[in-house]
Chain A
Amino acid sequence: MNRDHLALSDDILMKIEKPARYIGHEYNSVVKDLSEVDVRFAMCFPDVYEIGMSHLGIQILYDMFNKMDGVWCERVYSPWMDLDEIMRKERIPLFALESQDPIKDFDFLGITIQYEMCYTNILQVLDLSQIPLLSKDRDDDDPIVIGGGPCTYNPEPIADFFDLFYIGEGETRYAELLALYRKHRKEGFDRENFLREAAKIPGMYVPSLYDVTYHEDGTIAAFSPRFDDVPEKVLKEVVMDLSSTYYPMKPVVPYMKVTQDRVVLEIQRGCIRGCRFCQAGQLYRPVRERNVDVLKEYAMTMLKNTGHEEVSLSSLSSSDYSKLPELIDYLIEECDKRHINISLPSLRIDAFSLDVMSKVQDIKKSSLTFAPEAGSQRLRNVINKGLTEEVILRGAHLAFEGGWTRVKLYFMLGQPTETEDDIRGIAELCNKIAAEFFETVPKEKRVNGRVQIVASTSFFVPKPFTPFQWAPQCTKDQFVEKAYFTRKCISEQLNQKSIKYNWHEADASVMEGVLARGDRRLAEVILKVYQKGCFYDAWSEYYKHRVWLETIEECGLTPEFYTSRERSLDEILPWDYIDAGVTKEFLKREWQKAQNEMISENCKVKCQGCGAARFGGGICFEERVAGDE
């Protein structure tokens, strides 16, 4: 391969913002000899380079594919607006970073789908690649377009754009899929045949092999495979032994500053907590831990191989990792010698974490983070967030004693059963934390004289495979009203001067809700919206709410059908044919308990019988502990 060859001319590279996004050549990026490659896989994150490069999942799969003989996996991201315009005008096909070759010449285009608002960027990537947008229009020479990631647990709104979805964790079935592909290539390739066979591999969902019919009211009447040999339900794939699977020892090191510019150690998958609003908490069950000695070795090897100056732990709830103190002690000792920073997101605030944080951060500059998600204990019981006011205040007290003066609090507005009292609880909790500061820290010791409390609210969007999947979502007006009410309540507090309040825009939350629980009929909307020039919807400066609304109407649909409507428990949901491990009975039980304000203990304390035990491992088979909150 000629390393000097670039897909973009010098004139273009000199004209656009941040050309480093498009030239590849990063340290640890993999370049293979084409004469030894028979399957070319382009791995895409449909957002800008800095975001896409920060995603651990792609790095794991990149490493896995490139370890396979004859397979070359390369990366591709969404070109930024400036380059997008040039590529369209000059008809330059989208290319992979490593070889700079057009994506349309690849065997596979794999797209990871992490959030709903990137759906139009998927079309941008296909379009710039000069691949037909609709699966049915592709022929044998086009790449197989395969989707993965959390949004594929309800892939229906984007089903028409994909040939295949891989449901679940990518480490398990790709080898099988590629073997099948090679076999079909050898025996004379026919796209339809290949997809029909692929559908028999566990975890694979081929949307074109299923028919959906609707009732007059728009709900689903039936969802069925078109052939007998196509499975009725697709069960998600999971890796049960996380300590002996793929993990990238040599992750690609970008030149540019990217969002996640550090070594990332995924300490566990899944979460024991079972918060009822949280999709990730359900999708990644059961909890599986990585062996602590393996993690120590990974950390040191990856630091050496990348030269990164920071290491970060990744998991949904790091505090629940059983060997956390041992791992952190080790990292602190080793990293201190090497001037390496440690970043510890998602830690519960208690004496242990405060002690650790005081060792790894500058207390004066850092802030404490709490995520109560709801303002009152009543509503926290509804959402099963096991964080009490007492625990928060105790944590804050310890932290103020330790010298912290900044506190961040995250809440959600619009969760099921929420009342004005619950919202007022947000303001009151903030006020109590401020009061705790003034009580804990004597006047003469107050740095800058005060405490800074920042409360942020986001709007709740119900997601598939959560107990709230049947719940109505608030309308935009309700959201906005709630935000104003929150602000008003905060302004009435005694310590209001110490409290700052931020809230998110409501428009995008409405559309996220439409797409999250949408059905196949939305493909037409997404396609039309894209054709009207919308993409980068996840970037508020580019999101055009009006265009979305007007297009939904043009297609004879309404946002309310998908968002603010309460679904009945026996309605066929668009994602019912996917089996995410948790059973519908369990979700219904949880939905009932939520309405009765009853909590469910976490997996460590008591198994709730969610269904994930069928995978035969993880937390479901570990001893229960008594008394953990």
Chain B
Amino acid sequence: MSDNMRLRVRFEKTGAIRYIGHLDVMRFFQKCLRRAEIDVAFTGGFSPHMIMTFAQPLSVGLESHGEYMDIEVHSVTDSQDMLERMNAASVPEIKIVSVKRLPENAGNAMASVAAAKYLVSFREGRTPALFKEDPARVNEAISEFLSKETIPYVKEGKKGTREVDLRPGIFEFFVKEDQSLEMLLEASSGDNVKPAQVLDALLALHDDSLSENALQISRLDTYTRKVSVDGILGELLSMDEVGEIF
């Protein structure tokens, strides 16, 4: 379609704004881009929409430092100027971190999501018994967990429950020095794995479960996969690294 360019915008969602749902974040950006006078392209028809896609909906209550939105524009100035204009038209809790131009062959933000990295900690008074034990014991429990060939888990969806195997979707999972947990998990739309599911599965092995609203979760970044010349999917790559500063 025409000479339009595609831009990838990385942003953070923090503080009070973590209680704003995904649809409202989309609405926010539709208005924010207008305020910033970004030359966004629209679909045709009687009620034209901005051409934009988001990498992966973030659940209400989560913070994120690695959210992505792709937009199609007719014209650009430079990365820095556009970033500044967007931040001036935003609220402090939604901060634009980078604006980059996507190469023509890049997949769109939504379709190309492969993984997401999370920082997870337990809310006060809600740490499960296992995680109160000494770090060596916790690490041992995690490696035992990860060494399993399959990790069956019953997902509850809108259309009832369904059993899945979590194991292939857990790429990294370890305890950090400050006792918080870092997880790199599958995030493609069909097979998305959530931090709570991983912990639930782990705790189940120890006859325990998460208490209500036990986790404090921050998404650190979202990833795609490198695509080789012959179209084979390769290693994970931050979605930010696909585009280029201009």
Are both chains from one complex?
A: yes
Interface bracket on B: 20 to 34
User: Quick check: is A253 within 8 A (CB to CB) of the other chain?
Assistant: yes
Complex alpha-carbon distance, A306 and B36, angstroms: 10
User: Quick check: is A557 within 8 A (CB to CB) of the other chain?
Assistant: no
Complex alpha-carbon distance, A4 and B20, angstroms: 14
With known contacts A19-B60, A25-B17, A10–B213 Cβ distance under 8 A: yes
Q: Are A4 and B31 in contact (CB under 8 A)?
A: no
User: Quick check: is A308 within 8 A (CB to CB) of the other chain?
Assistant: yes
Q: Which residues of the partner chain B approach A256 to less than 8 Å between Cβ atoms?
A: 24
Contact among A3, A10, A24, A341 with B47 in the assembled complex (CB-CB below 8 Å)? A341
Number of interface residues of A (CB under 8 A): 32
Q: Are B28 and A309 in contact (CB under 8 A)?
A: no
Complex alpha-carbon distance, A6 and B15, angstroms: 10
Complex alpha-carbon distance, A547 and B239, angstroms: 59
User: Quick check: is B174 within 8 A (CB to CB) of the other chain?
Assistant: no
User: Quick check: is A13 within 8 A (CB to CB) of the other chain?
Assistant: yes
Selected interface stretch from B85-93, B178-186, B194-202: B85-93
Q: Are B30 and A309 in contact (CB under 8 A)?
A: yes
User: Quick check: is A304 within 8 A (CB to CB) of the other chain?
Assistant: yes
User: Quick check: is B48 within 8 A (CB to CB) of the other chain?
Assistant: yes
Residues of chain A touching chain B, judged by Cβ–Cβ distance below 8 Å, are: 3-4, 6, 10-11, 13-15, 19-20, 23-27, 253, 255-257, 303-309, 338-339, 341, 361-362, 365
Interface string of B25-60 (1 = CB under 8 A from A): 101101111110100001000111000000000001
Q: Which residues of the partner chain B approach A23 to less than 8 Å between Cβ atoms?
A: 16-17, 19-20
Q: Are B16 and A25 in contact (CB under 8 A)?
A: yes
Q: Are B24 and A307 in contact (CB under 8 A)?
A: no
Q: Are B31 and A307 in contact (CB under 8 A)?
A: yes
Complex alpha-carbon distance, A20 and B16, angstroms: 9
13 example contacts (A-B, Cβ-Cβ < 8 A) are as follows A3-B93, A14-B61, A20-B24, A25-B93, A27-B91, A255-B24, A305-B35, A306-B31, A306-B35, A307-B31, A307-B34, A309-B34, A339-B48
Closest chain A CB from B31 CB (angstroms): 3
Q: Which residues of the partner chain A approach B28 to less than 8 Å between Cβ atoms?
A: 27, 255
CB nearest neighbor in B for A13: B19
User: Quick check: is B21 within 8 A (CB to CB) of the other chain?
Assistant: yes
Q: Which residues of the partner chain B approach A307 to less than 8 Å between Cβ atoms?
A: 30-35, 89
Q: Are B19 and A20 in contact (CB under 8 A)?
A: yes
Complex alpha-carbon distance, A255 and B37, angstroms: 19
Complex alpha-carbon distance, A308 and B20, angstroms: 18
With known contacts A23-B16, A25-B16, A362-B46, A257–B27 Cβ distance under 8 A: yes
Residues B84-121 near A (CB distance < 8 A):
89-93
Q: Are B24 and A6 in contact (CB under 8 A)?
A: no
Complex alpha-carbon distance, A14 and B21, angstroms: 11
Closest chain B CB from A31 CB (angstroms): 10
Q: Which residues of the partner chain B approach A255 to less than 8 Å between Cβ atoms?
A: 17, 20, 24-25, 27-28
CB nearest neighbor in A for B15: A4
Complex alpha-carbon distance, A15 and B24, angstroms: 18
Closest chain A CB from B234 CB (angstroms): 38
Complex alpha-carbon distance, A3 and B94, angstroms: 13
Closest chain A CB from B174 CB (angstroms): 25
CB nearest neighbor in B for A340: B34
CB nearest neighbor in A for B25: A255
Contact among A4, A14, A304 with B35 in the assembled complex (CB-CB below 8 Å)? A304
Q: Are A25 and B91 in contact (CB under 8 A)?
A: yes
Complex alpha-carbon distance, A365 and B46, angstroms: 10
Complex alpha-carbon distance, A499 and B221, angstroms: 56
Complex alpha-carbon distance, A23 and B13, angstroms: 14
CB nearest neighbor in A for B49: A339
Complex alpha-carbon distance, A24 and B213, angstroms: 22
Q: Are B213 and A339 in contact (CB under 8 A)?
A: no
Complex alpha-carbon distance, A23 and B19, angstroms: 8
Closest chain B CB from A30 CB (angstroms): 13
Contact among B21, B31, B48 with A253 in the assembled complex (CB-CB below 8 Å)? B31
CB nearest neighbor in A for B23: A257
Q: Are A19 and B19 in contact (CB under 8 A)?
A: yes
Q: Are A10 and B15 in contact (CB under 8 A)?
A: no
Complex alpha-carbon distance, A403 and B19, angstroms: 45
Closest chain A CB from B10 CB (angstroms): 20
Closest chain A CB from B78 CB (angstroms): 22
Complex alpha-carbon distance, A253 and B28, angstroms: 9
Q: Which residues of the partner chain B approach A4 to less than 8 Å between Cβ atoms?
A: 15-16
Q: Are B213 and A11 in contact (CB under 8 A)?
A: yes
Taking each of B37, B61, B213, which has the highest tally of chain A beta carbons within 10 Å of its own beta carbon? B213
With known contacts A3-B15, A25-B17, A10–B61 Cβ distance under 8 A: yes
CB nearest neighbor in B for A364: B46
Q: Which residues of the partner chain A approach B30 to less than 8 Å between Cβ atoms?
A: 307, 309
With known contacts A4-B16, A19-B19, A27–B31 Cβ distance under 8 A: yes
Complex alpha-carbon distance, A587 and B121, angstroms: 69
Contact among B20, B31, B42, B60 with A14 in the assembled complex (CB-CB below 8 Å)? B60
Q: Which residues of the partner chain B approach A14 to less than 8 Å between Cβ atoms?
A: 60-61, 213
Complex alpha-carbon distance, A25 and B14, angstroms: 12
Taking A3-B93, A4-B15, A27-B35 as given, write out 18 further A-B residue pairs in contact, using a Cβ cutoff of 8 Å, ordered by the A residue number: A3-B15, A4-B16, A10-B123, A14-B60, A14-B213, A19-B60, A20-B19, A20-B24, A23-B19, A25-B91, A304-B37, A307-B33, A307-B35, A308-B31, A309-B31, A339-B42, A361-B46, A362-B46
